[in-house]
Amino acid sequence: MSSPPFPVLPAGFRFGAATAAYQIEGAHDEDERGPSIWDTFSRTPGRTLGGATGDTACDHYHRYREDVALLRELGVDSYRFSIAWPRLLPQGTGPVNHKGLDFYDRLIDELLAAGVSPAVTLYHWDLPQALEDRGGWRTRDTAEAFAEYAALAAERYGDRVDRWITLNEPYCSAFVGYAEGRHAPGAEEGRGALAAAHHLLVAHGLAARELRAAGAREVGITLNLDRIHAASDRPEDRAALRRAETLHNDIWTDPLLAGRYPRYEAETWAGLADGPWRLPGDLDLIGGPLDFLGVNFYRPTTVSAAPHRVADPGQRTAVDIGVAELDPYGTRHTTMGWPVVPSALSELLRDLHVRYPQSPPIWITENGSAEADTVAPDGRVHDPDRIGYLADHLTAVADAVAAGVDVRGYYVWSLLDNFEWARGYDQRFGLVHIDYDTLTRTPKDSYHWYRGLISAHCARTEETAR
């Protein structure tokens, strides 16, 4: 089967690959690293598929040089990785773990020697367990501790890191972790989840201030924004769409990009909407300047109305916003069960451009597909569906750029197969196959396709410059 043609992106467009600390590092109890909420959650029976943990994962902590060599051979401009907060500050605050600081020194220096620019995510869900024991993201203290952590990281690595991402997908941290209970810390709360959402935004604002004070060149945040459609034009389905947009998108984009709280929050959360966790000046802090907005995208959703339980401010249980998700797309699905609709990414980017015309440049900080990958008898991993997914979504990005959206770059998710959170090791997103018994790395056909895309882009850029 022949590979699809390479999408054409403008000169200066950058390509990268992404990972996250808990998903690949392993070494969970080495060199004085403290436990995170994901260590605790994954060890709780029934929380992850097959009881999987990130104890070893891809063993990147010991094999980072091998992984950087894969990045160098891939030809990427940048590598997006996250720092494990409990590796630097085992208790979340207080005494610093110098062995943890040294590890990321080694990784960053190895990347620079390979000609790959480091892009650091400060928080990719691995909150130190000690902070969760004191209330976690439900409390403002955790946001203030995050600022301390950001200042430490900026002081140590700021001379070598160009691009900083404060938070990855705060929606998942707040709502999947504190409302739905499917991710760490496994809570099912209403007020707790909304307080967590706000404190995550406050944490972003505080961290951005610390990063800028340390001279950071680019500061942004990554959101997993959804392209959501209503099942019909019925008023009740349009109202469900408003509530879904509020939960998934507006709770983040309105404070960050427009200096306001979401218009339909009272309709969505009733008595829980305007909680005591909001303080004067928070919107100014949260809405400080961004150098870029990171967008993670995998698939669209369609919603219809469902019974909407009005929230009681005194209740602790999670809030039902009265939405049912449908799947009318009739397309191929990845092994995650997600429909493949590349045009939805272009729609999302154009909609952001229209709704927030003064928004900063966009980076696609995650995009990729989980597929049923195996090593074939010829020793290779043939993954044509992933290649098609990447080609079609990069074409969607090119379409958005042609429509006037300022998209600067694209990070494929992921460099490596890895621990896929509650789904354990059942899902494979990597350009590189990991044998979890031997930890052998095998570049897939998609790795070679992506390398060819980058090479062709560089050659085209050089030709244009002549």
C-alpha dihedral sign at 114, 118, 124, 130: positive
463 catalytic? Reply is no
Report how far residue 241's alpha carbon sits from residue 244's, in angstroms, rounded to the nearest whole number. 5
Candidates 25, 245, 265, 366; catalytic one: 366
pLDDT of amino acid 221:
99
CB 104 within 8 A of CB 157: yes
Residue among 164, 169, 97 nearest 130 (CA): 97
pLDDT of amino acid 86:
98
- Overall pTM surpassing 0.95 (yes/no): yes
245 catalytic? Reply is no
226-235: b (≥16 Cβ within 10 Å) or e: bbbbbbeeee
Candidates 110, 132, 169, 245; catalytic one: 169
pLDDT of amino acid 159:
97
Report how far residue 428's alpha carbon sits from residue 447's, in angstroms, rounded to the nearest whole number. 13
pLDDT of amino acid 307:
86
Long-range contacts of 325-334 (CB under 8 A, 24+ apart): 325/301, 326/231, 326/302, 327/302, 328/231, 328/302, 329/300, 329/302, 332/385, 334/298, 334/299, 334/369, 334/370, 334/371, 334/385, 334/389
Report CA-CA distances (Å) from 241 to 187, 247, 342: 25, 10, 20
How many residues are recorded in the chain? 466
Three-state secondary structure of the chain: CCCCCCCCCCCCCEEEEECCHHHHCCCCCCCCCCCEHHHHHHCCCCCCHHHCCCCCCCCHHHHHHHHHHHHHHHCCCEEEEECCHHHHCCCCCCCCCHHHHHHHHHHHHHHHHCCCEEEEEEECCCCEHHHHCCCHHHCHHHHHHHHHHHHHHHHHHCCCCCEEEEEECHHHHHHHHHCCCCCCCCCCCCHHHHHHHHHHHHHHHHHHHHHHHCCCCEEEEEECCCCEEECCCCHHHHHHHHHHHHHHHHHHHHHHHHCCCCCCHHHHHHHHCCCCCCCCCHHHHHCCCCCEEEEECCCCEEEEECCCCCCCCCCCCCCCCCEEEECCCCCCECCCCCECCCHHHHHHHHHHHHHCCCCCCEEEEECCCCCCCCCCCCCCCCCHHHHHHHHHHHHHHHHHHHCCCCEEEEEEECCECCCCHHHCCCCCCCCEEECCCCCCEEECHHHHHHHHHHHHHHHHHHHHHC
pLDDT profile of the chain (466 residues), mean per 10? 88 98 98 98 98 98 98 98 98 98 98 98 99 98 98 98 98 97 96 96 98 97 98 97 97 98 92 89 98 98 87 58 94 98 98 96 98 98 98 98 98 98 98 98 98 96 74
pLDDT of amino acid 214:
97
Report how far residue 430's alpha carbon sits from residue 294's, in angstroms, rounded to the nearest whole number. 20
pLDDT of amino acid 310:
59
Task: Determine if the peptide bond prior to 185 is cis (ω within 30°).
Answer: yes
Report CA-CA distances (Å) from 136 to 124, 148, 364: 15, 15, 29
**Beta bridge partners of residue 229, listed in sequence order:** 302
pLDDT of amino acid 463:
74
Report how far residue 411's alpha carbon sits from residue 119's, in angstroms, rounded to the nearest whole number. 10
